[in-house]
Structure 1
């Protein structure tokens, strides 16, 4: 009987790894920030549509006062030249473009903030046929599919994958509630406390703390240091609760600390995936109109789950610890996976 759930858990985990690997490969192979170019992205205006070009096809050189980039489009050379900015070299100006030796249009269409502040350009008047434009779009289908999705949809895909990862992790933990699961649950509770403390202290305005001798830089250090200390403390207390019995007073204190971590972990995970679940059940418009009520609903769910976690830790039976590990592993994996996906999207230049 145990073989079927074990096979299913491994199959789900393997399927998730395949999906994430394919998604990451698509992102990496077309990433605007994966190659060192002075611009964020280049697109071609083709009649009534836009064709995006991957940055990897451009070979760029940097001179004293200029950037020069070149790419082959339909076996012809597209050449671009910009003047560098004085204070910030990626503050480009005077874009000059030529295609097959003929001057073409080059217009700035905006600014991308990540991974570095750099402009977005559109090339016009290439003089190609509809079939040639279609061939370019098909050749670079990856970047065009990603750009068509846009930042919000890519973030939503990351949320959906994180939700799938959380469900898989909870299922896997139920079948393998060992030392690895306990270690991960402890770290996940620490992650929840870190975000709670950082969010609370980070929300304090600088003009409130400067009268007490803090500069903006020193206050940021205090915020980071306090959040890290609270996270480490939570990891230790949760690990003590899971691995060994402690006296009654310490147990109450440790459970409170761990439960607060679980509360914020659930708050992060549930709020992340309300958009995913609302789309799945066709309630996106309803939720968007009831943001205030939704905020309190998310907090209520998180409180209930935190109380459940506290009860499970207090009982401290093999079954209660197993349920606690499933709860925290599931929500912890969602939070970790989602923040990792955001980091990747920012690093690669798909989000800013």
Structure 2
């Protein structure tokens, strides 16, 4: 039975062309689970795949979509049965393997997590990889000693998918959240998510030429990298930590060792692609339970037919919140 999919093809002259096509299940790669995808979400990595970024996708034609939620149609695994609701995020989905922007995917059973009680396909994709990454970041920061009474927590790139969920989650947990954004029109949006203070990109870059800044932050979630990340590091309080989970500004940081050897601060790396499956289950169960958030204010509704325009917007830095894709819309 044919299904619809968003497809990116590379032309002979090196351009990347997007379209909606009909595919057959027999065209999908081998895998223990065939899944009927109901919802997906749009991430920055998906947009990079759609423009042929070789750090994300090297083989075309290709269907992006690093997130997928739906129902098992066929299973060759004892861990899942037809009819089971599942989440698939990360691993190679949407990078080298046809992803969640198609109505069917076939994947290894080890990539899937059973849908936890409290979430459904749509709500899990409002979170998606972005929400999962935000939760991983907060969890690792708290494991490193971050507490609400340890000082304000700063979130960079705060209007993006990871940043906006991080702001909401930290506020829910009782933190004083300061949000960094280059979008002046989104200040009220961020305050509505729970941020007490909004900083411009220029303010976040003040003192970039100094080896240390006044200690201010009790913790941080950084989604942008580059000079802003190192400015955050330079302003961490003694023994505080920053979780680094993005590189929208730059994959490089102009760093010295001074904050690390004079204040004992910590730079924590966050990988949401291939953490152990049990770790994924733990975080998803937390998001379905004590860390559950009302994320409707973040939703930007999308369908396969509106994806291409949304990809252009996210690449231009013009999308705030979470693009949530209805595969049957």
| TM-score for both structures, normalised by structure 1 | 0.26
Q: Highest CA radius of gyration, 1 or 2?
A: 1
Name the structure with the higher helix share.
1
The structure showing larger relative contact order (alpha-carbon pairs under 8 Å, at least 6 residues apart) is 1
Q: If each structure's strand is expressed as a fraction of its own residues, which one has the higher value? A: 2
Taking structure 2 as the reference length, the TM-score comes to: 0.27
